[in-house]
Amino acid sequence: MKHKSMRLLPERSYFQGKRTIIRADLNVDIVADKIIDDFRIRRALSTIKEISPRARYTLLVSHRGSFECPNDYTETLEPVAKHLSRLLGRNVYFLEGSVESVRYALEKLPDHAIALLENIRWYKGERENSTKFAKQLAQLTDVFVNDAFGEIHRREASIVAITKFVPSFAGLLLQDELRHLDNLSTSPRRPFAVLMGGAKLYTKLPLIKRFLRIADAVLVGTALANTFIAAQGNRIGKSLQEKKFIFKAKAMLRNQSLIIPDDYVVSPRVLAGKGKVTRGSLSSNSYIVDIGPETAKTFSSLLEKAGTIFWNGPVGCFEHAPFANGSRAVAKAILGNTKAFKVIGGGDTLELLKPLLRRKPKVKNFFISTGGGAMVSYLAGIKLPGIEALKKQYERR
């Protein structure tokens, strides 16, 4: 598999007495100092528990907040440190300030301590993948472990540049993500069904193209489907579409594995009111807000019979209850297929699934990825900076 060309996590004894940095993805939503969903934090625990009992200290490095807003100084990680302390049953020190002050604080910590650094994107040089900043980080550690799959597609100092200066390894979470995603391409159980939603066709187009080569059915909904519906010659009113991809969409429609909505729910407002089911062209003031009932049946039938399922993105504007019927229908079909190997990822997908998983917490053959953009890019065959950096060190060793 692809990830074997990286340095995997060594035996526990390797970390004995070594200063260790783990780059984790602890980017969680927090309201009034309360963590809304600790899924990513819990997924990070396996590597922390593996390393920390032997390391001189384990310094966790992460970010919080949107990639587009790196200087939002309300996105502190301090509540995450407190939550980690509760989950691990031990103190997790919270460190902030200059790299030099952090180095001094780390030296004072007891052996085998765990510490969490304040939001790494607040440090000058992180977003720029600065060699100078990476050298400063490297002075804090003897070993670097990348376990931040959700950020592996970013070219940042704590993901890429740091690997030039210290022995670097792929953490347990990162290995687990790649193993499950590789299985989709190398050995899917047939029939292999792919369900894709979302708003931006240009971000998902490479992935759709790749899956059309290896999957038995590629089901497309939400705004992602609008360009394909328009490519059939339909007027789609105010619905979001990407006209520059109409020609490519027409060509892809010739592939019988690509299945787009035959009927859809339309409304004059995106997140309000009620919709009506239609086919073909829309009036000029309407939006497509959900797949229609016949399409929901078609999608669900294919998903119920699948041997492997990959799902990324709801198939409608699920935030508004009247427009969530299609998404709920396909979700129930996926969760109800106990024999299929299921890989699911993307923030909106997980948000949709939360209430369903609370009612049905134990789902067989079910893997939830911590990545959104990283997962899509990896599956599309795009080279990701964090993985490439680990591969280069593997080649240099």
- Give per-residue pLDDT as tens, 112-125: 999 999 999 999 99
Q: Which two tokens stand for residue 228?
A: 């394909």
Of the CA atoms within 13 Å of residue 212, those in its CB half-sphere come to: 17
**Measured between alpha carbons, how far is residue 281 from residues 232, 236, 278, 285 in Å?**
10, 6, 8, 12
Q: State the pLDDT at residue 397.
A: 64
The domain ranges of the chain are: 2-171+383-396, 190-339
SS (H, E, C) 108-159: HCCCCEEEEECCHHHCCCCCCCCHHHHHHHHCCCCEEEECCHHHCCCCCCCC
Q: How many CB atoms lie within 10 A of CB 207?
A: 22
Q: Which CATH topology does 190-339 take?
A: Rossmann fold (3.40.50)
Q: Which two tokens stand for residue 267?
A: 């409304």
* Surface-to-core class of residue 107, CB atoms within 10 Å of its CB (0-12 exposed, 13-18 middle, 19+ buried): exposed
Q: 20, 24, 130, 128: which is closest to 77 by C-alpha?
A: 24
How far from the centroid of its chain's Cα atoms is residue 320's Cα? 23
Using DSSP's 3-state secondary structure scheme, residue 244 falls into helix
Q: Which two tokens stand for residue 306?
A: 């699948």
Q: State the pLDDT at residue 192.
A: 98
- Residue 293's contacts (CB-CB under 8 Å, 6 or more residues apart) are 263, 277, 325
The architecture of the domain spanning 2-171+383-396 is 3-Layer(aba) Sandwich (3.40)
Tell me the C-alpha distance between 271 and 133, whole Å.
44
Q: 179, 190, 184, 172: which is closest to 312 by C-alpha?
A: 184
| Structure letter (DSSP) for residue 28 | -
| Structure letter (DSSP) for residue 237 | T
Tell me the C-alpha distance between 116 and 122, whole Å.
14
Q: What is the pLDDT along the chain (397 residues), one digit of tens a residue?
A: 445 578 888 999 999 999 999 999 999 999 988 999 999 999 999 999 999 999 999 999 999 988 777 667 789 999 999 999 999 999 999 999 999 999 999 999 999 999 999 999 999 999 999 999 999 999 999 999 999 999 999 999 999 999 999 999 999 999 999 999 999 988 899 999 999 998 888 889 999 999 999 999 999 998 999 999 999 999 999 999 999 999 999 999 999 999 999 999 999 998 878 899 999 999 999 999 999 999 999 999 999 999 999 999 999 999 899 999 999 999 999 999 999 999 999 888 888 888 777 665 567 788 999 998 899 999 999 999 999 999 998 776 6
Give the pLDDT confidence of 23-48 residue by residue, as tens digits: 999 999 999 889 999 999 999 999 99
| Beta-ladder partners of 192 | 308
**Measured between alpha carbons, how far is residue 132 from residues 122, 135, 156, 158, 345 in Å?**
15, 5, 12, 12, 35
